[in-house]
Structure 1
Amino acid sequence: MAPETGTAIRFENVGLRYGLGPEVLRDVSFEIENGSFQYVTGPSGAGKTSLLRLLFLSLRPTRGIVRIFDHDAATIGRDVVPALRRRIGIVFQDFRLLDHLTTYENVALPLRVLGVDEENYRRDVTELLDWVGLGDRKWVHPQVLSGGEKQRAAIARALITRPEILLADEPTGNVDPPLAKRLLRLFVELNRLGTSVIIATHDLSLMEQHDARRFVLNAGHIDVYD
């Protein structure tokens, strides 16, 4: 289901703090249009991961307005959050693969949760694993995968539902340059098909390979460069 307007995400003067600590995000304002592509960059500790957590609705702002698919994150009911999250794919830095499932089963998990029959997704999962270079690792468990292989499995899991928004936290941080370039092409192709892509990264060479809007975070503030 497409968002009701052309704007998928809107932040208005958003502030975020953890407990009684200082604000980690301050007066952050921007809009993300449907089908757009952008990078979030900045030094370590600038607030990139916190920003992604707000986008995934796992945090609520301390102040200001966050709207996702025309829903106000501050007032949204708990019963609505799971349905909105199903429209968002996310690649975490710590992968969050389930150790008791094979690579294939981890990637297929979002579709299983949605109640899709395996006969309707087996081919898609297999083709996506082949594309990210894990075709020969689909029946092994995460414990025997390298860091880069776990990263690729996490990316495949985030992409398998063809989400309306893809959030990726350092998605190429554990892979070599040729594979990073290949994964970037996958993100670009997904964006071409209509998904809004938001990649948090330190990798300047990655950003140089595909020109897109940059959100630069520094000490909790954000500058947007189109």
Structure 2
Amino acid sequence: MLRFENVGLRYGLGPEVLRDLTFTIEPNSFQFLTGPSGAGKTSLLRLMFLAQKPTRGLVKVFGRDILTLPARELPGLRRRVGVVFQDFRLLDHMTTYENVALPLRVAGRDEASYRAEVTELLGWVGLGEKLDASPMVLSGGEKQRAAIARALVAQPELLLADEPTGNVDPQLARRILRLFVELHKSGTAVVIATHDIALMDLVDAKRLVLHDGRLHVYE
């Protein structure tokens, strides 16, 4: 699903923030991405969801080399990846329901074909009473769950989450983790970037540990 070989990344003329990364993400796998602040986790996620190209090395996503991928094919690949951003990126002029349904609307589906599944998903993440609420009146935890629902709604083959439990209490963090575990059981590959060691200890999963721009993989 994802293949990195000797990947390096630098911004401008600065030093490499990622160095010599070689690893794979297999279909239907579950892994945590962790490491100290500034280790390069967000930069690595950007490479994974095709927002950034490597300075050197090989990155293949669903078998396609992103350095030679025609620009016209990029949106199609991105639709196969769900992303939960640390800053939520909800649109304040839309309701919670409209935010979550947006990927399906952009894909050209008729609302009648997806309204029930979006409503069910919002109920699943505990936002069944907030369908018509503006993101501006949601709490931090509610915004996080709405962002997760939006990432899940198109049933991505790969889900990337950047600190998805960083703004919620421990009980809600465990609930959110269970959502990702259930998604994984349905066949989606999951990568969760987190600092939360206690959270990682709840799931028997591979750990990708970034330190000083280099990656260490622990089964």
TM class by shorter chain equals over 0.9
What residue in structure 2 maps to residue 139 of structure 1? Answer: 132
- TM-score w.r.t. length of structure 1: 0.95
1:5 alignment partner in structure 2: none
What does the per-residue CA deviation read over 1:129-186, in whole Å, with 9 as the maximum and x for residues that have no partner?
1111111111011111111111111000000011000000000111111211111111
Q: 1:61 and 2:54 equivalent?
A: yes
Mapped to 2, the partners of 1:125 and 1:189 lie a distance apart of 17
1:189 to 172, 182, 185: 182
Question: Could you tell me how far apart the structure 2 residues matched to 1:19 and 1:151 are?
Answer: 32
- For residue 99 of structure 1, the aligned residue among 69, 92, 97 is 92
Say which is worse superposed, 119-128 or 37-46, in terms of deviation.
119-128
Return the TM-score normalized by structure 2: 0.98
Q: What count of residue pairs does the alignment treat as equivalent?
A: 219
CA distance in 2, matches of 1:148, 1:179: 8
**Distance of 1:132 and 1:88 partners within structure 2:** 20
Gaps of 5+ in 1: 1-7
Letter in structure 2 aligned against 1:106: N
Show the counterpart of 1:162: 155
Secondary structure at 2:129 match in 1: helix
3-state DSSP class of the match of 1:94?
coil
The one-letter amino acid of 1:108's match is: A
Residues 1:34 and 2:27 are matched in the alignment:
yes
- Runs (4 or more) in structure 1 with deviation over 6 Å come to none
Partner of 1:87: 80
Aligned partners of 1:75 and 1:187: how far apart in 2?
A: 32
Q: Tell me the SS of whatever aligns to 1:224.
A: strand
Residues 14-62 of structure 1: CA distance to partner in whole angstroms, max 9, x if unpaired? 0000111110000001011110000000000000000000001000000
Secondary structure in structure 2 of the residue aligned to 1:108? helix
> What is the distance in 1 between the residues matched to 2:178 and 2:150?
17
**2:190 aligned with 1:204, yes or no?**
no
Instruction: Decide which moves more: 66-75 or 116-125.
Output: 116-125
> CA–CA distance in 2 between the matches of 1:101 and 1:121?
17
Q: Which amino acid aligns with 1:178?
A: Q
Report the aligned-residue RMSD: 0.7
CA distance in 2, matches of 1:82, 1:216: 29
- 1:119 Cα shift? 1.6
The match for 2:10 among 17, 23, 26 is: 17
Q: Separation in 2 of the partners of 1:128 and 1:206?
A: 23
Return the alpha-carbon distance in structure 1 between the equivalents of residues 177 and 82 of structure 2: 15
Following superposition, the deviation at residue 99 of structure 1 comes to 1.0
